[in-house]
């Protein structure tokens, strides 16, 4: 490529027209499920004050330590492109008074930014759909979140994801556990990698979250948080398990599941696949009861999850059948057809909601217009030429079927189209 062409930022991808129909269908399917559970959408800015993420995600996390896109704006304020959606959502809920004696079920969607090493399933701009709930403290809500995600996979025709769950207990319980963990890892210091040695000082539980396969043995031998859970968290977790059992959702309790972010408490869960290599987590979430207070609001219980759309799309792309190609390509031959052609197309759009009609612009021969009609993916070409204008008819050429050309009166054209596409099982409602 020529040297003077400016490329996109590394790790940030264009989503091209051949792919957007798949994105749209994926998003629409997810949106329908969210609505089926009464969730409402919230949209927040992609830029926030840096302190928001430092205070919520935690200073000693991968995200805040090394992944954020942080810069000073022209006023010298430190701003950060959101690396995730929870902090913004909580900020917005507090700021707009959505949490006063209210239960909220919210969802969001959009790009997130993390300065990671780009590879398959890991980008610097990626997209998440997430939900955050507020005001519900029980395991029933945790179970609902998981059932909702399970229904997403079902509606997307996706099998083979494994649900892993764990409980992180309360922060008091974690304090005791933390000491045990530091004791254990200090005794096994020689088996820790550089990152884990650093975490041993700052955030030892994060060592359990390591992605380094060489550390698997030492991590598996570590004391389990489950043994140090406070009674209430244990009961909460047991209830969640029975609710999942009752609903027939299979899960694996993974005592090493700690999540990368600091604000979690009690339930954490992940949906994992072995089909995406090292980037196997498709959806991750849990409870973060302390977060609202941590961000300056009145204490309100909260829980949610986020799923990575790029990873999910790789898994379900073949199941999606976006219906996005034009139904009709309008071929306009001859000088005087331009104006009546545009008018006819408008009339058809008025008469048939949902009809996708691609009008040929720019003139040209029959042959070249047919080539374009064929390439467009349309099922039929409507031909308007000088003859059709004078006889108030339209010629119809089938582009995907071996049938002879037809001529119909313009006055019955919309009826003809409704019949033809209705008969082909297409509906115009979307
Ligand atoms: P990972 O362990 O893969 O780094 P994470 O714990 O940092 O993930 P979360 O912050 O929980 O991820 O984000 C939720 C989901 O968003 C992940 O499960 C994943 O599907 C997706 N995700 C996270 N980071 C990226 C990224 N850089 N590129 C693409 N998808 C991502
Ligand atoms: Mg990460």
pLDDT in tens, 292-322: 999 999 999 999 999 999 999 999 999 999 9
114 Cβ closer than 6 Å to some ligand 1 atom = yes
Q: Nearest residue CA, atom 21 of ligand 1?
A: 308
Q: Do 129 and 109 touch, CB atoms closer than 8 A?
A: yes
User: Could you read off the pLDDT of 122-144 as tens digits, one per residue?
Assistant: 999 999 999 999 999 999 999 99
122 Cβ closer than 6 Å to some ligand 1 atom = yes
310 Cβ closer than 6 Å to some ligand 1 atom = yes
13 Cβ closer than 6 Å to some ligand 1 atom = no
As given in the structure block, the two tokens for residue 323 are 């219906």
Q: Is 62 helix (H, G, I), strand (E, B) or coil?
A: helix
Q: Which atom of ligand 1 is nearest to the CA of 209?
A: 2
Q: How does DSSP classify residue 260?
A: S
Which helix (H) or strand (E) segment is 33 a member of? helix 20-36
Q: Nearest residue CA, atom 26 of ligand 1?
A: 122
Q: Which ligand is nearest to the CA of 286?
A: 1
Q: Nearest residue CA, atom 29 of ligand 1?
A: 122
Among 265, 287, 50, smallest CA distance to 146 is for 287
116 Cβ closer than 6 Å to some ligand 1 atom = yes
269 Cβ closer than 6 Å to some ligand 1 atom = no
User: Could you read off the pLDDT of 380-394 as tens digits, one per residue?
Assistant: 999 999 999 999 999
281 Cβ closer than 6 Å to some ligand 1 atom = yes
Q: How many CB atoms lie within 10 A of CB 157?
A: 12
- Cα angle for residues 318, 321, 327 (degrees, 5° grid): 145
Place of tokens 């830029």: 47
Helices 338-351 & 413-423 angle (0-180, nearest 10): 60
User: Could you read off the pLDDT of 48-63 as tens digits, one per residue?
Assistant: 999 999 999 988 788 9
**What is the share, in percent, of the chain residues with pLDDT greater than 90?**
82
- Cα angle for residues 39, 307, 121 (degrees, 5° grid): 160
User: Could you read off the pLDDT of 80-91 as tens digits, one per residue?
Assistant: 999 999 999 999
Q: What is the pLDDT of residue 157?
A: 97
At residue 427 the predicted structure's pLDDT band, cuts being 50, 70 and 90, is low
Rounded to an integer, what distance in angstroms lies between the CA atom of residue 46 and that of residue 41?
A: 15
Q: Is 351 helix (H, G, I), strand (E, B) or coil?
A: helix
271 — phi, psi (to 5°)?
A: -105, 125
| pTM for this predicted structure | 0.92
Q: Is 259 left (phi over 0), alpha (psi -120 to 50) or beta?
A: left
What is the 3 state secondary structure string of 112-128?
EECCCCCECCECCEEEE
Flag whether pLDDT at 429 surpasses 50: no
Q: How many CB atoms lie within 10 A of CB 427?
A: 9
Q: Do 148 and 154 touch, CB atoms closer than 8 A?
A: no
């Amino acid at each position: 490529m020529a040297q003077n062409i400016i490329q996109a930022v590394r790790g940030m991808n264009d989503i091209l027209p051949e792919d957007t129909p798949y994105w749209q269908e994926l998003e629409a399917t997810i949106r329908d499920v969210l609505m089926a559970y009464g969730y409402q959408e919230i949209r927040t800015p992609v830029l926030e004050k840096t302190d928001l993420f430092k205070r919520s995600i935690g200073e000693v996390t991968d995200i805040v330590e090394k992944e954020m896109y942080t810069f000073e704006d022209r006023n010298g304020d430190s701003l950060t492109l959101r690396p995730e959606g929870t902090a913004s959502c909580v900020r917005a809920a507090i700021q707009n008074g959505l949490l006063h004696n209210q239960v909220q079920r919210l969802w969001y969607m959009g790009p997130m930014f993390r300065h990671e090493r780009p590879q398959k399933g890991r980008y610097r701009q990626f997209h998440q759909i997430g939900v955050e709930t507020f005001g519900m403290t029980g395991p029933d809500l945790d179970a609902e979140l998981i059932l909702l995600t399970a229904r997403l996979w079902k509606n997307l025709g996706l099998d083979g994801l494994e649900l892993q769950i764990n409980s992180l207990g309360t922060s008091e319980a974690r304090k005791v556990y933390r000491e045990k963990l530091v004791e254990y890892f200090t005794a096994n210091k020689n088996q820790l990698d550089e990152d884990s040695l650093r975490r041993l000082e700052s955030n030892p539980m994060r060592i359990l979250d390591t992605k380094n396969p060489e550390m698997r043995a030492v991590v598996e031998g570590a004391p389990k948080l489950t043994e140090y859970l406070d009674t209430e968290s244990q009961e909460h977790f047991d209830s969640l398990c029975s609710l999942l059992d009752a609903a027939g959702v299979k899960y694996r309790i993974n005592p090493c599941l700690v999540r990368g972010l600091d604000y979690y408490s009690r339930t954490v869960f992940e949906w994992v696949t072995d089909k995406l290599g090292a980037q196997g987590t498709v959806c991750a979430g849990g409870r973060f009861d302390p977060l609202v207070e941590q961000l300056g609001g009145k204490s309100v219980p909260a829980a949610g999850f986020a799923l990575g759309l790029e990873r999910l799309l790789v898994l379900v792309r073949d199941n999606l059948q976006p219906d996005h190609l034009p139904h009709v390509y309008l071929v306009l031959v001859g000088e005087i057809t331009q104006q009546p052609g545009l008018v006819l197309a408008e009339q058809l759009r008025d008469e048939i909601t949902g009809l996708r009609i691609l009008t040929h612009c720019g003139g040209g021969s029959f042959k070249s217009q047919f080539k374009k009609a064929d390439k467009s993916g349309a099922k039929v070409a409507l031909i308007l030429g000088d003859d059709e204008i004078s006889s108030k008819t339209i010629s119809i050429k089938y582009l995907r079927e071996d049938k002879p050309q037809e001529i119909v009166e313009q006055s019955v054209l919309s009826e003809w189209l409704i019949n033809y596409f209705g008969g082909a099982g297409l509906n115009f409602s979307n």
